[in-house]
């Protein structure tokens, strides 16, 4: 008995050490990603300034070219009519032309240098974007391993009889969690985080504008900053609503979907028609949440892949079943050739199967796609 206990303790120590190593690796990867993101923001700020400098220098060089052209015309005139002009006038015409020519050559070199620096920075930013994406993917994979070590190995001795089944089920749950986290992370990164980073950059420009061009110009910049903040706030509210619409518990499935689809219509500038045959019926909280997610995923798939200007969502309640039809009139696809996962439909099918429902997909290239779902109603 003591030998078994010693083995259990040894196994627990090994697991704890593995968790520690994986956790440290996760922190190091996260730090690398954060450092890359900070460097990216600094480089983006520098690129923005260089673009302004290049634009300003191009304007100055264009003016110099016009002045040089006039100076050369003046020098030609003086040279042709040498006897009409004094020696000082001839010398001045030559000096003016030479000075402008020299200045233009120098500034052209500076312009080329700035453009080269801008291109180098943009190349570096693209490399940092790739590094950030790699670190995010690595963190997701490390989280899968870490969650498995922490959650699934705790009672490994008691679960040994059904280890394979629990392993598969646990990984499916973790995979689903990580996919949701990855999606949320990407939405925050591409939405509010990017907007707030731009706000930081523009706020620096506002400070510089106050010093160099005055308060009136700075107020114009501040108006743009305000619009960016408003956009970031809208994105945060949209993400919160996507995570868990609070109206679902208070209003029920149909009113919440009507509100959600109206928001989608406004945000993506796509016509969304919602046609329920009943309005106020209430179902179990789990059923309403699952049905909401199915419609949400189906509509998002259509927006992302279909390239359509019209989406129709039909709700039909009959004989203790809820039939959902999500129709778009976009580019469609060959159902026999395309994997469902490439259109984000695998998760929907798995969710439907968990609810003992059925799902059917019909699509024609150039005409659109229809996703039909039938669920047994849960009250």
Please tell me whether residues 221 and 90 are part of one structural domain: no
Please tell me whether residues 124 and 21 are part of one structural domain: yes
- What pLDDT shows up at residue 310? 95
Residues 245-283: tens digit of each pLDDT = 666 777 888 998 998 899 888 888 899 999 998 876 788
Please tell me whether residues 128 and 16 are part of one structural domain: yes
Please tell me whether residues 129 and 203 are part of one structural domain: no
232 vs 65: CA distance, rounded Å: 44
Please tell me whether residues 32 and 125 are part of one structural domain: yes
Range name among 53-62, 135-144, 157-166, 345-354 with the lowest pLDDT average: 157-166
Reference 72, options 83, 80, 61; nearest CA is 80
Orientation angle between helical segments 194-213 and 2-80, nearest 10 degrees: 40
Please tell me whether residues 235 and 258 are part of one structural domain: no
Long-range contacts of 6-15 (CB under 8 A, 24+ apart): 8/157, 11/156, 11/157, 15/149, 15/153
Domain that holds residue 345: 253-376
- Answer yes or no: is 8 within a domain: yes
96 vs 83: CA distance, rounded Å: 20
Q: Phi then psi for 209, rounded to 5 degrees? A: -65, -40
Residues 362-375: tens digit of each pLDDT = 999 989 999 999 99
Q: How far is CA 336 from the centre of its chain?
A: 31
Which of 193, 211, 243 finishes a domain?
243
Q: How many CB atoms are located within 10 Å of the residue 260 CB?
A: 21
Q: Which of the four pLDDT bands, split at 50, 70 and 90, describes residue 7?
A: low
- Answer yes or no: is 12 within a domain: yes
Looking at per-residue confidence, does 286 or 170 come out higher?
286
CATH number for the domain harbouring residue 111? 1.10.287.2610
133 vs 302: CA distance, rounded Å: 25
229 vs 251: CA distance, rounded Å: 30
- Answer yes or no: is 141 within a domain: yes
Could you give the number of structural domains in the chain? 3
The DSSP call for residue 360 is E
- What pLDDT shows up at residue 171? 58
pLDDT of 9 higher than 80? no
Most confident of 171-175, 291-295, 350-354, 370-374: 370-374
Range name among 57-71, 153-167, 263-277 with the lowest pLDDT average: 153-167
Please tell me whether residues 269 and 195 are part of one structural domain: no
32 vs 369: CA distance, rounded Å: 42
328 vs 303: CA distance, rounded Å: 9
Place of tokens 């868990």: 244
- Answer yes or no: is 179 within a domain: no
CATH number for the domain harbouring residue 282? 3.30.565.10
Q: Which of the four pLDDT bands, split at 50, 70 and 90, describes residue 148?
A: low
For strands 358-364 and 368-376, give the pairing: antiparallel
Question: The tokens of 340 are what?
Answer: 């469902």
- Angle 105-107-109 (CA atoms, 0-180°, nearest 5)? 70
Orientation angle between helical segments 163-188 and 215-243, nearest 10 degrees: 160
- Answer yes or no: is 226 within a domain: yes
Q: Phi then psi for 273, rounded to 5 degrees? A: -100, 125
- Answer yes or no: is 310 within a domain: yes
The answer to whether 325 and 314 have CB atoms below 8 angstroms apart is yes
Question: The tokens of 110 are what?
Answer: 């500076």
Q: Which of the four pLDDT bands, split at 50, 70 and 90, describes residue 10?
A: low
Please tell me whether residues 278 and 366 are part of one structural domain: yes
Please tell me whether residues 239 and 260 are part of one structural domain: no
Which pTM was predicted? Answer: 0.47
Question: The tokens of 102 are what?
Answer: 């020299």
- Answer yes or no: is 286 within a domain: yes
295 vs 327: CA distance, rounded Å: 11
Please tell me whether residues 118 and 207 are part of one structural domain: no
- What pLDDT shows up at residue 348? 85
- What pLDDT shows up at residue 178? 64
pLDDT of 347 higher than 60? yes
């Amino acid at each position: 008995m003591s030998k078994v206990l010693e083995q259990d303790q040894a196994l627990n120590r090994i697991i704890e050490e593995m968790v520690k190593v994986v956790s440290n690796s996760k922190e190091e990867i996260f730090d690398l990603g954060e450092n890359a993101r900070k460097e990216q923001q600094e480089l983006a700020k520098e690129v923005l300034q260089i673009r302004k400098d290049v634009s300003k220098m191009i304007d100055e060089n264009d003016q110099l070219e016009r002045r040089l052209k006039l100076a050369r015309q003046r020098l030609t005139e003086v040279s042709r009519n040498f006897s009409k002009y004094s020696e000082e006038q001839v010398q001045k015409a030559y000096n003016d032309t030479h000075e402008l020519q020299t200045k233009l050559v120098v500034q052209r070199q500076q312009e080329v240098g700035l453009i080269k620096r801008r291109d180098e920075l943009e190349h570096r930013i693209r490399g940092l974007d790739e590094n950030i994406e790699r670190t995010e993917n690595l963190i997701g994979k490390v989280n899968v391993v870490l969650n498995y070590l922490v959650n699934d190995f705790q009672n490994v001795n008691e679960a040994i009889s059904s280890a394979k089944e629990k392993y598969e089920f646990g990984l499916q749950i973790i995979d689903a969690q990580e996919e949701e986290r990855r999606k949320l992370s990407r939405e925050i990164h591409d939405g509010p985080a990017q907007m707030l980073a731009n706000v930081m950059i523009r706020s620096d420009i506002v400070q510089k504008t106050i010093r160099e061009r005055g308060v009136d110009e700075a107020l114009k910049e501040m108006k743009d900053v305000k619009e960016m903040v408003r956009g970031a706030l809208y994105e945060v509210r949209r993400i919160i609503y996507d995570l868990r619409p609070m109206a679902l518990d208070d209003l029920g499935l149909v009113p919440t979907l009507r509100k959600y689809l109206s928001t989608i219509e406004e945000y993506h500038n796509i016509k969304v028609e919602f046609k329920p045959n009943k309005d106020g019926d209430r179902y179990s909280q789990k059923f309403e949440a699952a049905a909401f997610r199915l419609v949400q995923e189906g509509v998002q798939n259509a927006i992302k892949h279909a390239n359509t200007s019209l989406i129709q969502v039909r709700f039909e309640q009959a004989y203790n079943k809820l039939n959902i039809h999500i129709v778009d009139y976009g580019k469609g696809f060959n159902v026999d050739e395309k994997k469902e996962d490439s259109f984000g439909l695998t998760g929907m099918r798995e969710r439907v199967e968990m609810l003992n429902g059925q799902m059917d997909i019909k699509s024609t290239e150039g005409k659109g796609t229809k996703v039909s779902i039938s669920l047994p109603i849960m009250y």
